[in-house]
Structure 1
Amino acid sequence: MAVDYETIISTGLSSLSRAATAWEDMGKRFGNLHDDYRDHVKAAVEADGWRGESATTFKSQAQVTLEEYAGARDEAKAVGALLKEAYGTLNSRRDKVIEARDQAVEAGMTVNPYSGRCTADLARMDEDKAEVYRRNQLARQELEESWTKKIADAVKDVQDADENFRMALMSDPSDGDKGLLDGFNGALKSDAGEANAARAEELYDKIRRGEKLSGAEREELDLLMRENKSDQEFSRTLITSLGGPDGVIRTHNELTDRAYFEETGRKKHYLNMDRHLADVIATATRVEGKGREREEDQRFYDKWMKDLREAGLKEYDAEIVDQVGSDQRMRGYQSIVTLMQNGSGYSEQFLHDIADDVRAAEDPKQGGDPDIWDLDRGFAGTKGEDGTFARDRDSWFANDPYDGVLGIMSKTPDVATAYFDPDTAAGKDRLEYLQKERDWDLVNTSEYRKVEVSGPDKADADSHVGFGAALEAAMTGQVPGEGPKDPAAGTAGAQTDEEKEKTERDLRKRIRVFEEVVDSYAKISAVDKSAIPENIRHNMANAVACYPNDVHDIIGKDGYFSGGLSTEPNGVGVDRAAMLQFIRGVSEDGGAYRTIHDSQMQIVANEIHGLGREDFEKGSPKAQGVAQVSGQTMGALDHIRADVLGSHRDDAISQNNWSKVYAYHTIGAPVTAIPVFGDTLQRLVDIGTGHVAEDLNNEISDKTTEDLIKHYSTKGYPRLEEMMVERAVQTGIPRSELGPADSAFQRVITADARQEYSAAIHDAQGSTGTGS
């Protein structure tokens, strides 16, 4: 029976510590008895020259006795070590239960001493808060349940640990034929993880042999894996006993076969087992510590990676690749990366090494085969309007293991940044290979005439998805899909000089990757505007939106003042022409363009919002600067819009799709880390990003880029002037005073804005490569 809340709270664990010491002392005493028997009894008799049948019988029995002493010694020491480990773990988790109880009491709860259930004590709460809970019984119930759950979760952690140690103490590893048949067992492990790994391996092996686990066995395996996933001894013992990488791959394949094809009703159970297997790989492959411990970690890691390089190239049976009777087989790397997608916590060394090893298997320059991953169909999920792929159908399978590893890397941005850091030769080479050299066409095709003949390979629909995610993570320092944040966030909050230096180094790395990606893809886009792969355009736009002020400096201030300004706040070293060529390539996707456009309109709105009444009345240098830079920014972006739509004027489907995905982006949705506070600022943002901006995509049929530039010069520019007018009115200036031609507003501010907008919408032509 599992220990309950009352028992956990009321029971001290000091006796467990004393028991551990007593068992260790017992082990020492058995050790002394073993040595005395070996040196003074068994050895003395053997040295006496005793011969005959009785001597033979004695020697045989003496050896058994000696082995029993050794078994008793080792078993006692192992029990002592397990009890000591149990004391540390259970004591720590018991403290968490007490902490949760104390927090609940402090929050105004009465905690039942027997069950741990919480009841709100309104008399001990602030009167205003108490009144809320008196009136709202549902809110009170939710509050009580949340605290009850917190305590129950802490109790469950104690129960799981208690059961884990019980299984370790009850485990019965084989001691060979040493000692008596039912005697002491010196094979008992002194580490709970190592002791329980054998049982976990037994249950996984049962699955691999085609057998089914009972409900009790599934629960047992789940507990073993949850409790020990962070234990290196458990993890390494388990994956070694499964047969190393080859055995792990075969086990994973069996689990996915059952989950997706054979026993779909138990899909959740099998995928849970698969996830646990991925987690122990993450733990087992970490190289940590110092001295001898690190050397042992490195030896294990080197052996694992050596075996994985062999297993990664082998072919394996799996139903996912053989659904149409084509008798296809998958490669080991495709399987192991599929497995890894279900886990987390992999080390930088492991992710970098496996990515480079996968590349070596396919890269002709390294003796690889570019067709090694090719299969007869694709495995992409359904692509949504936002450009992301749903994880459905067969999309769980990593038919492209390199792209798959990069996708895993994107979940740990620092790892992705280090992988592509252009300050290293390896980082530059990896990016160049993936951009320019790699064969991304992994789907075999066939043409049917009188006979079936092979057609050209093609890319899977989700090609480059992992690559794009990894680049976004590397450039921004955040996991793709998370809300935008300042890439420099954390610098000011670091508490020590060492932490500040590390944060700054990490930021500089991200900026280096951003600069390299922008410059390299700008060169490619200058030659072929559609060269940036479709599935990474959203990622690239998100990265640009992560540096809104810097990009504003580049395409706005640098456009007006020229000379390559040092951007604020991050000092991004990209010139205006390269940035605009990059944005042009990304803008083949309307949604990606809108992410960039709206992020810049937010900066423009912030700049305009910072102007006061006097700035508008006198046409101050500050107002002039805002007008000029805003004009440059909006003009350049409208030129890009015109160039994209003009380039596709003969392709109605493409043009309609661009407008559709442009409109998909929710108006007012946050696209930068800069918050929008207050209705006055929101109004300015809405003018720049709302329906007027959307309408610029309409009524453009059969217009060339030059026609569209003229169109936007009359339809697009007024957004900027209206933002200026709106802000001036907000400062208290009557709208009637802004209209006269001799006003500072018209002579200076709007004149400068119009001039810079017009200059940018025309001279951005060369920057986007459209003037060639």
Structure 2
Amino acid sequence: MTIDLSLLETAATKWDEAAKKFEAVQKVYDSQVKSVGLDGSWSGVSLLVARPDMQKTGEQFTAAPKEARAIASVLRDAHTQFVELRGKVKSAVADAVKAGMKVSDDGRASYDFSKVSEQEAFSIKHDPDLHSTELSWTRYIEAAVQAVDDADQGVKLALKAAAQDPDLFDGVVNGFNGKAEGDIEKVEGKEAKELASKVKSGEKLSDKEMAEFQRLFRDNEHNKEFSQTFLASLGPNDTIELNLKLNDLAKGDDKKDFRALQEGVATSLATATKSPSDPFYQKWREGLRKAGAKDFDGGTVPLYGYQSFVELMTHGKNYGKQFLTDVGNDIIALEKSDKYGTGRWTMWQGLGLAPHKNIATDPLDGLLGIMSKQPNVATSFLDPGADGKNDHLKYLLKDRDWPKVATPSNISVHTSDFPDTRVGFGAALEAAATGNLPGADHTLGYHTEAESRVMHDTIKILDEGRKGADIPDNLRGNLGRMLVDYTPETHEILSGTGPYMDKDGVWHDGAGDKNGHMSVPKESLTRIMRGVAEDGKAFGEMYEAEKYYAAGTLSATDFRDPNNRAAAIEGASHVFGFYDGISSDIARDKKDHAVSWANHAQTAEFVVTGSMQAAASALKGQPTGFITDAVYRILYAGAYDWKEDQIAQANAAAAQQTEYHFTTGQKQVNHMVAGWAQTNGYGVDSGLSRHLVGSGQERYDSARTEALIYLD
């Protein structure tokens, strides 16, 4: 920590001076010695003997300044790295001290009780988390120190490589290195390639080599020069073969080590491909197209490059938007142009056939799953665009023949969907339409136009030919959360309220990116909701979100204005009429499973986030449906357990032979209206309260009937 790092700069200057001196001596040698052998004044046997030595000496004078300058470059690079990394160590120690720790000379953090009172010290000493907190800070400091050591090892490697005799058999002892590399990271990239080649060829790495391989990735995880040098020298074909080998080796006691190498390769891939303008990028992409379509098995059950490559990508994160897009485009292009289509991804099993382990059986679906972790990429990839030219969404929702599991028998071949088919696509679809990580809790609404287009076109495409209720199983949960996120729009569509809900399209309303909206015909939305509702939990989540949103519309309405009051109640009644129409259709179609379905609906939760409440305070008085204290008061005053009622009605539906209608929604509205009246000073038994409760019954009845007509 106290070493004078400026000595590295001083040493680098000396090596630059040495390079100049070598060049000066070379000029003298060329003009006064080497020229004698070339000007024709010297001849005979002695010249023939001397000329090879003169040639070697000249080459050494040429190589010497290159080696010297490479060493100078390495030393300057080392100085820059060590100054930065030492600063991070000091910062880590300072952070620990600020958090109440004291740090020993060997980097161990322990609580500094001298800075607190005896009472506080007693409490802290008996805190069960004290040891883990101290250990966490110790490891934080250790990581900073480890980074210094990793860099030190890299400098050592680069200096050794720069000073290494490039040809041990040229007759020159300890010759200068005319190919010396002055970039530490490029030297490390070449070293990583050599170790990767050993692994790929089946050679077992020593413990020292394994530690060095991991160090190389750890020290250079965000370094473009290292990553591009490593991957360029390896190439896409060998990268895929390396991953296949790492998958085979990642088992038993060594599993952790080989998984760490996969993470290192994947991280290098993410780092190397961040800049599409780099010469490396296009060359690597071209190579990947060829390797991706190649069968790496050659046996009965094919194994294509893209399958292993996408599996490798799952070990990394934060890929460049263009790279993910390009890989996706290339896989789709292969599927559309190839005679096998998606058939090349078929999973063969049975009759002695076994699918390959640890690969992305459907690489496109796997890639979409990776995109889902970067919502802006998912949106860009699936957004049809204002001009409608991007057909990815249509291809995935309608046109693509999704790969199958094929089980041959002596008579025929049976095919079925993968158990996880469309899982990656569903996650990407949710991320693309909401702008958030799949399953994340966040504020409802607030979408860009691109996100709104994804949502709008998803509904329209899925409902082409009135097939909205026929939604693939693995998309229902994602579509349910998407509909939850668009509750402000779905409420207005189903209730017929709002200035935009007679539209069928996407538009932008107001300033800022997150003011996009979408609307679709009620019948399409109803059928999509019915398809999602096959998943009871997804239906319950939509219902819960609507409950809060409807209460929000009531709370934002002037209770004293009879016209506005009636409109708000009728709007909520109309929406819940659609929900009960869907519930009734579910019960009609699956009497034997209606109770099971209702039990799943009971597991639904709607998490109120801090961002929802913050949005409410920012948009106070607006009918946004975000959660305010007024919403809680309405729901609390008009408490109603719709989930229990849903189960009770499901039991009744299962016991009847004739069609049964759910009425949970109207009860929900009546209780909310009673709570709304109560929060405005009217008792439950007051005349106004009794008048308002049930005042939306006619709108509710018509909506439920309308929903059932759409679903017939």
| TM-score normalised by structure 1 residue count | 0.81
Q: 1:638 aligns with which of 561, 580, 592?
A: 580
The answer to whether the aligner puts 1:328 opposite 2:266 as a matched pair is no
**CA distance in 2 between partners of 1:480 and 1:339 (Å):** 22
Instruction: Give 1:430's aligned amino acid.
Output: H
1:726 equivalent to 2:675? Answer yes
The equivalent position to 2:518 in structure 1, one of 573, 595, 605, is 573
Deviation (angstroms), 1:685: 9.2
Residues 1:284 and 2:272 aligned together: yes
1:234 aligns with 2:192: no
State the AA in 2 paired with 1:520: I
* Secondary structure of 2:406 counterpart: strand
Amino acid aligned to 2:244: N
Match of 1:377 in 2: 349
Q: Distance in 1 between matches of 2:312 and 2:62?
A: 42
Q: What residue is the counterpart of 2:111 in the other structure?
A: 120
The reply on whether 1:534 has 2:473 as its aligned counterpart is yes
TM-aligned CA deviation for residue 367 of structure 1: 5.6
Contact between 1:337 and 1:401, CA under 8 Å: does it hold in 2? yes
Match of 1:500 in 2: none
Task: For residues 77-104 of structure 1, give each alpha carbon's deviation from its aligned partner in whole angstroms, at most 9, with x where no partner exists.
Answer: 1111122122212211211122222233
Distance in 1 separating the partners of 2:294 and 2:59: 44
1:406–1:470 Cα contact (<8 Å) kept: yes
Quote how far apart the aligned CAs of 1:591 are: 1.8
Map of 1:306 onto structure 2:
286
1:599 aligns with 2:545: yes
> In structure 2, which of residues 669, 685, 689 is the aligned counterpart of residue 745 of structure 1?
689
Alignment correspondent of 2:622: none
1:658 aligns with 2:597: yes
> Which of 411, 433, 439 in structure 2 is aligned with 1:453?
411
Give the distance between the partners of 2:100 and 2:441, measured in 1 at CA: 34
C-alpha separation in 1, matches of 2:326 and 2:179: 36
The alignment status of 1:346 with 2:319, answered yes or no, reads: yes
User: How far is 1:464 from its partner?
Assistant: 0.8
How far is the alpha carbon of 1:535 from its aligned partner? 0.6
Does the 8 A contact of 2:501 with 2:519 survive in 1? no
Q: Shift of residue 123 of structure 1? A: 5.3
Give 1:78's aligned residue.
70
Q: Report deviation, 1:129.
A: 9.4
Counterpart in the other structure of 2:156: 166
Q: Deviations over 1:221-244 (max 9, x none)?
A: 1111111232222222222333x1
Partner of 1:519: 460
Q: 1:671 to 1:111 in 2, by over 3 A?
A: closer
Distance 1:96 1:528, change over 3 A: closer
User: Does 1:317 pair with 2:297?
Assistant: yes
How far apart are the structure 2 equivalents of 1:50 and 1:234? 50
Is residue 399 of structure 2 the alignment partner of residue 437 of structure 1? yes
Q: Which amino acid aligns with 1:302?
A: Q
Q: 1:250/1:78 Cα in 2 relative to 1: closer, same or farther (>3 Å)?
A: same
Shift in Å, 1:731: 4.9
Counterpart amino acid of 1:535? N
Query: Is the contact made by 1:546 and 1:672 (CA closer than 8 Å) also made in structure 2?
Result: no
1:398 to partner: Cα distance: 0.6
Distance across 2 between alignment mates of 1:684 and 1:168: 73
Deviations 1:138-194 (A, max 9, x none): 455454444333323222222222222222222377734668242222333211121
For the structure 1 residues 144 and 308, does the alpha-carbon distance in structure 2 shift closer, same or farther, using more than 3 Å as the test? Answer: closer
Task: Call closer, same or farther: CA 1:20–1:511 in 2, change over 3 Å.
Answer: farther
- SS of equivalent residue, structure 1 residue 443: strand
8 Å CA contact 1:111–1:118 kept in 2: the answer is yes
d(CA) in 1 for partners of 2:472 and 2:118? Answer: 57
**Per the alignment, do residues 402 and 137 of structure 1 end up closer, same or farther by CA in structure 2, a change over 3 Å counting?**
closer
CA separation of 1:54 and 1:723: change in aligned 2, threshold 3 A: same
Query: What is the distance in 1 between the residues matched to 2:310 and 2:304?
Result: 10
Q: Give the direction of change, closer, same or farther, for the CA distance of 1:311–1:171 in structure 2 (3 Å limit).
A: same
Summarize the Cα distance change of 1:562–1:610 in structure 2 as closer, same or farther, 3 Å threshold. closer
CA contact 2:532–2:538 (8 Å) conserved in 1: yes
SS in 2 for 1:328: coil
Shift of 1:198: 2.5
Q: Which amino acid aligns with 2:344?
A: I
Which of residues 178, 190, 207 is equivalent to 2:182?
A: 190
1:156 and 2:172 correspond: no
Is structure 2 residue 239 aligned with structure 1 residue 245? no
Question: Of 663, 684, 697, which aligns to 2:650?
Answer: 697
Would you say 1:272 and 2:263 are equivalent positions? Answer: no
Residue matched to 1:764: 707
Amino acid at match of 1:248: T
In 2, Cα distance between equivalents of 1:236 and 1:178: 32
Give every structure 1 segment of 4 or more consecutive aligned residues whose post-TM-superposition deviation is greater than 6 Å. Answer: 559-562, 565-569
Superposition deviation, residue 471 in structure 1: 0.9
Once the 2 structures are TM-superposed, how far is the Cα of residue 567 of structure 1 from its aligned partner?
Answer: 9.6
**Structure-1 separation of matches of 2:548 and 2:375:** 26
The gaps in structure 2 that reach 5 residues or longer are: 614-626
Query: Contact conserved, 2:468 with 2:528, CA < 8 A, in 1?
Result: no
Q: C-alpha deviations, 1:308-328, integer Å up to 9, x for none?
A: 22111211139xxxxxxx842
Change (3 A) 1:407 1:685: farther
Tell me if structure 1 keeps the 8 A contact 2:70–2:181.
yes
Contact 1:601 1:689 in 2 (8 A): no
Query: Closer, same or farther in 2 for the Cα pair 1:539/1:39, shift >3 Å?
Result: farther
Q: Check 1:481–1:736 CA distance in 2 against 1; reply closer, same or farther (3 A cut).
A: closer
Computed over aligned residues only, the root mean square deviation of the Cα atoms, in angstroms, reads 3.2
Deviations 1:643-686 (A, max 9, x none): 2332334xx35x45533432333x45459963557664663796
**Residue type at the aligned position of 2:398:** K
Compute the displacement of 1:412 (Å).
1.2
Report deviation, 1:426: 7.6
Aligned with residue 431 of structure 2, among 460, 463, 473: 473
Q: Structure 1 residues 427 and 158, CA, compared in 2 at 3 Å: closer, same or farther?
A: farther
CA contact (8 A) 2:267 2:316 kept: yes
Unaligned runs of 5+ in 1: 1-7, 289-293, 319-325, 379-392, 489-505, 738-742
- Cα separation, 2, equivalents of 1:415 and 1:175: 46
* 1-structure distance, mates of 2:124, 2:442: 39
Segment drifting more, 567-576 vs 212-221? 567-576
Counterpart selection for 2:377 from 393, 415, 428: 415
- 8 A Cα contact 1:228 1:234, kept in partner: yes
Sort the Cα spacing of 1:755 and 1:163 in 2 relative to 1 into closer, same or farther, 3 A.
Answer: same
SS at match of 1:329: coil
Q: How far apart, CA to CA, are the structure 2 residues paired with 1:572 and 1:602?
A: 20
- By how many angstroms is 1:627 displaced? 1.2
Conserved? CA contact 2:365–2:422, under 8 Å = yes
Q: Cα gap change, 1:511/1:29 in structure 2, threshold over 3 Å: closer, same or farther?
A: farther
Q: CA 1:206 to 1:567, structure 2 compared with 1: closer, same or farther past 3 Å?
A: closer
Structure 2 SS opposite 1:411? coil
User: Separation in 2 of the partners of 1:673 and 1:647?
Assistant: 39
Spell out, residue by residue over 1:279-336, the C-alpha distance to the aligned partner (whole angstroms, 9 max, x if none).
2122222326xxxxx4xx1x32222122222111211139xxxxxxx84230111111
1:28 aligns with 2:8: no
Determine the C-alpha separation between the residues in 2 that align with 1:765 and 1:39.
100
Instruction: Please identify, of 399-408 and 30-39, the stretch whose mean Cα deviation from structure 2 is larger.
Output: 30-39
Percent of paired sites with the same residue: 29
Separation in 1, partners of 2:268, 2:492: 47
TM-score norm. by structure 2 comes to 0.87
The answer (yes or no) to whether the contact 1:519–1:574 under 8 Å persists in 2 is no
Equivalent position amino acid for 2:612 in 1:
I
1: CA distance between counterparts of 2:399 and 2:369?
19
Choose 353-362 or 172-181, whichever is displaced more: 172-181
Structure 1 residue 469, shift from structure 2 partner: 1.1
